[in-house]
Amino acid sequence: MPNFKNNRTAEDIKREMTAILRELKDPRIDKMLSIVRTELSGDMSVCKIYVSSFMGIEKAKESVMGLKSAEGFIKRELFHRLKLRKSPSLTFIADDSIARSAEISKKLNDLL
């Protein structure tokens, strides 16, 4: 049976993380960084956040390093914005899905 509270909270985290990313001033974090998806554990103690950059996987990996250093600030902001009882620990993962989807789209356009 799906846990709707978990799914709703994961979507709320994704929405708020998008807003928080725009406020961060770390030069390592790409301005074109996008949150692909969030996965929240069943007990809501761990949240995996997959991020992707339009500039490629290397820029996404560099941005993950900047996000890890700002993790304390991000957790505090999530805690206050979402009114959570307990803030989950955050794990940032670089993902290249945007670049991969652009490549697939280009190949499909070339076929036409």
CA distances (Å), 95 to each of 50, 77, 112, in order? 6, 23, 28
- The DSSP string of 67-87 is HHHTHHHHHHHHHHHHT-SSP
DSSP state of 88: P
Amino acid letter for position 105: S
* pLDDT digits 0-9 by tens, 10-41: 999 999 999 999 999 989 998 889 999 999 99
Helix, strand, coil percentages (3-state) for the chain, rounded to 5, are 55, 20, 25
**pTM: predicted TM-score of the whole model, two decimal places:** 0.84
- The predicted pLDDT at position 97 comes to 79
